A and B are shown apart, each in its own frame.
Chain A
Amino acid sequence: MMITKEMKEMAFTSPNEQGYYGKFGGAYIPEMLHRNVEELRLNYLNIMYEASFQKEFQQLLKDYVGRPTPLFLAERLSKTFNTQIYLKREDLNHTGAHKINNAIGQVLLAQRLGKKRIIAETGAGQHGVATATVCALKGIECVVYMGEKDIERQAPNVARMKMLGAKVVPATSGSKTLKDATNEAIRAWINDPLDTHYIIGSVVGPHPYPDMVARFQSVISEETRWQLKEKTGSELPTHVIACVGGGSNAAGAFYHFLEEKEVQLVAVEAAGHGISSGLSAATTQLGKPGVLHGSKSLVMQTEDGQVVEPHSISAGLDYPGIGPLHAHLFESGRGLFLSATDEEALDAAFELSKLEGIIPALESAHALSALKQIQFKESDVVVLCLSGRGDKDLATYMNELERRG
């Protein structure tokens, strides 16, 4: 099933003309960004659905990324929870996570807009690595902004980006993490507006980014539907579960089920040390409506509207906001929002490794940990998006094994 432009009329799959999903979204940007964002807004759908674009995009997803990714019936895990659990193996993508789907889409789009240079922000480094990878493939200059603290925490991904020829620029302002890397990337775009494209890695940012990134990631649920049909005779599962930081893998995993109201969509946020511990990243639980990085959404903030620094053991979920689509899913009740603590995510990662021989990324481990929080029927068909692999988190896992003895 291809996404068509007509689908943009639907309530959850597309924002309105101004980029709103319900009351969330929009483009709260300074005038200095208007030309670039407007250029993108006017062109993204036309370019994305051009035949030549789709041909190149699909070809690269197949031959370079390795899509379709398997939909794997995890039998021992299913037995543990007395239901049927299918893992959507985004961890098997080239570069180890779903992030590359969007990076390829946006690089191809940037080329068609005549841009010569790519900038990106990254937290854990997965989006940075994916972007650097596609830029290497296409011979395009690439600059990645990364919080100074994250550069220290995620050394292997910094090394990967450098080996791929990208320049990694430390964000030294504010709290020196993903939020600030995003600020720095946006500023860099303001300062160099003409031939640079900014690739946002999640379904956040000013319209059209949330919609554009969701569409590039929607390949996840597009494949899930036909794969599920092959395996079960029905395209529709009872549940789709995914972790949410900004929310790009969840947006992709939910996309083609958004209008299928019988499918329960489950988003799992990072509770960090616990929702009320002061060290958490569970935005729907702790956030209030606000404006961050160019869109109105739910934002973790102080009483006087200063954005707070979240905490999660998983750098990919360590973000004080959430995409406007997800804020709308939360507010409308279409999505069920759960959370998992650092500890619960670690438990789930160890469990999956031993039961299925798959070491998940810490982000995906949050989604896995939600399995314990839902009462499944034996006949339920659960799709869980395994957004990335755990190689990048081995140091954390090793420390934890040592601690647990």
Chain B
Amino acid sequence: MSRLEKLFQQKKERVLNVYCTAGFPELSSTLQVMQSLQANGADIIELGMPYSDPLADGPVIQESSGKALHNGMTIEVLFQQLQSLRPSIHIPVILMGYMNPVLQYGFEKFCADAAAVGVDGLILPDLPQYEFETEYGSIIKKFGLDFIFLVTPETSEERIKQLDELSTGFLYAVSSSSTTGKDKDFTAVEKYLQRLQSMQLKNPVLVGFGIKDKSTFEAACRHANGAIIGSAFIQAIEPSSDVVQTTKTFLEKILS
């Protein structure tokens, strides 16, 4: 049973997934931040692999990616850092990134190395369904990695079912059609989440984009298994010299 599967078997609500950019704010802070996230109540860590042109992300995550790249982060460096991932980190860890750097690294080698260090799953928002089904999905599966598709309020019911079928681990519900880090009107979002809830999906659903504090986290959790916080966390640790303490304070506010 995968770590994600086990998690959702034990915990069906208020699952908190926190995104952080690898190599941000410092090249060496990746594991420190992860440890602090684990110690302070995060259930899943989504580790962003920085890319020069992150289309699905807003300015906050793009800037943190730029900084991480400037710090010297690459996929190769990341896998070196993650050599000591397990067992000190026991919660599920997902890598999020874009196709181009992964293709350059070599898709199969990437999956092999990710699985070898103990990564549980992948989110590659610009890997399309057709290419997943015909080329890449089997490689991801071969190495026992989960793959998480995104759905949005504009995604048709039929397509949601297809993407749910292809996903393992959980389904990523983008709260509205937008890039990360934007403010949302949550009443419209709730209707969409209720619709997802009524669809009897195979996977648990986590809500992302626009989750930034306790109230948006609570709202998302009312109609889903949990939520993903990204930009707001990046903003919180950006100016900080003590990322461990800042992470603690940030999570305490969300989970209080």
Asked if A291 and B179 make an inter-chain contact with CB atoms under 8 angstroms apart, the answer reads no
Asked if A304 and B104 make an inter-chain contact with CB atoms under 8 angstroms apart, the answer reads yes
Asked if A305 and B102 make an inter-chain contact with CB atoms under 8 angstroms apart, the answer reads yes
Asked if A193 and B177 make an inter-chain contact with CB atoms under 8 angstroms apart, the answer reads yes
B157 at the interface (CB under 8 A from A): no
Main secondary structure of the interface of A (DSSP, over half): mixed
Encode A86-111 as 1/0 by CB contact (under 8 A) with B. Answer: 00000000000000000000000000
Asked if B101 and A31 make an inter-chain contact with CB atoms under 8 angstroms apart, the answer reads no
Asked if A190 and B105 make an inter-chain contact with CB atoms under 8 angstroms apart, the answer reads no
Asked if B105 and A304 make an inter-chain contact with CB atoms under 8 angstroms apart, the answer reads yes
Encode A296-327 as 1/0 by CB contact (under 8 A) with B. Answer: 00010101111100000000000000000000
User: With the chains together, A304 CA to B131 CA distance in Å?
Assistant: 22
B69 at the interface (CB under 8 A from A): yes
Residues of A within 8 A of B55 (CB): 29-30, 183, 186-187, 190, 293-294
Query: Count of chain A residues with Cβ under 8 Å from any Cβ of B?
Result: 33
User: With the chains together, A186 CA to B98 CA distance in Å?
Assistant: 15
User: With the chains together, A30 CA to B149 CA distance in Å?
Assistant: 10
B112 at the interface (CB under 8 A from A): no
A289 at the interface (CB under 8 A from B): yes
CB distance from B227 to the nearest CB of A (A): 17
Chain B residue at minimal CB-CB distance from A39: B154
Chain A residue at minimal CB-CB distance from B77: A304
Asked if A290 and B103 make an inter-chain contact with CB atoms under 8 angstroms apart, the answer reads yes
Asked if A307 and B100 make an inter-chain contact with CB atoms under 8 angstroms apart, the answer reads yes
Residues of B within 8 A of A62 (CB): none
A81 at the interface (CB under 8 A from B): no
A204 at the interface (CB under 8 A from B): no
User: With the chains together, A304 CA to B80 CA distance in Å?
Assistant: 14
Residues of A within 8 A of B156 (CB): 35
Name the interface residues of A209-232: CB closer than 8 Å to any CB of B.
Answer: none
Chain A residue at minimal CB-CB distance from B131: A26
Asked if A174 and B103 make an inter-chain contact with CB atoms under 8 angstroms apart, the answer reads no
CB distance from A20 to the nearest CB of B (A): 10
B76 at the interface (CB under 8 A from A): yes
A276 at the interface (CB under 8 A from B): no
User: With the chains together, A32 CA to B174 CA distance in Å?
Assistant: 8
Encode A265-305 as 1/0 by CB contact (under 8 A) with B. Answer: 00000000000000000000000111111100001010111
User: With the chains together, A26 CA to B132 CA distance in Å?
Assistant: 12
Residues of A within 8 A of B103 (CB): 289-291, 305
Asked if A292 and B53 make an inter-chain contact with CB atoms under 8 angstroms apart, the answer reads yes
With A193-B177, A304-B76 known as contacts, the answer to whether A27 contacts B128 (CB < 8 A) is yes
Asked if B155 and A34 make an inter-chain contact with CB atoms under 8 angstroms apart, the answer reads yes
Residues of A within 8 A of B69 (CB): 306
Name the interface residues of A126-181: CB closer than 8 Å to any CB of B.
Answer: 173-174, 179
Asked if B126 and A32 make an inter-chain contact with CB atoms under 8 angstroms apart, the answer reads no
Residues of A within 8 A of B154 (CB): 32, 34-35, 193
Residues of A within 8 A of B126 (CB): 28-30, 291, 294
Which of the segments B11-19, B37-45, B58-66, B238-246 contacts the partner chain? B58-66
With A304-B101, A304-B104 known as contacts, the answer to whether A183 contacts B53 (CB < 8 A) is yes
- Most A CB contacts (10 A, CB to CB) among B51, B98, B101, B156 go to B101
CB distance from B231 to the nearest CB of A (A): 13
Residues of B within 8 A of A80 (CB): none
Chain B residue at minimal CB-CB distance from A309: B52
User: With the chains together, A173 CA to B155 CA distance in Å?
Assistant: 28
Asked if A305 and B150 make an inter-chain contact with CB atoms under 8 angstroms apart, the answer reads no
User: With the chains together, A38 CA to B76 CA distance in Å?
Assistant: 35
B178 at the interface (CB under 8 A from A): yes
Asked if B177 and A305 make an inter-chain contact with CB atoms under 8 angstroms apart, the answer reads no
- Most B CB contacts (10 A, CB to CB) among A179, A290, A305 go to A305
Residues of A within 8 A of B98 (CB): 291
Residues of B within 8 A of A59 (CB): none
7 contacts between A and B (CB under 8 A): A18-B130, A32-B179, A34-B159, A187-B179, A292-B100, A305-B51, A305-B75
For the complex of A and B, list the 7 residue pairs with the smallest distance between their C-beta atoms, beginning with the closest.
A305-B101, A305-B104, A30-B56, A30-B125, A304-B74, A35-B154, A31-B150
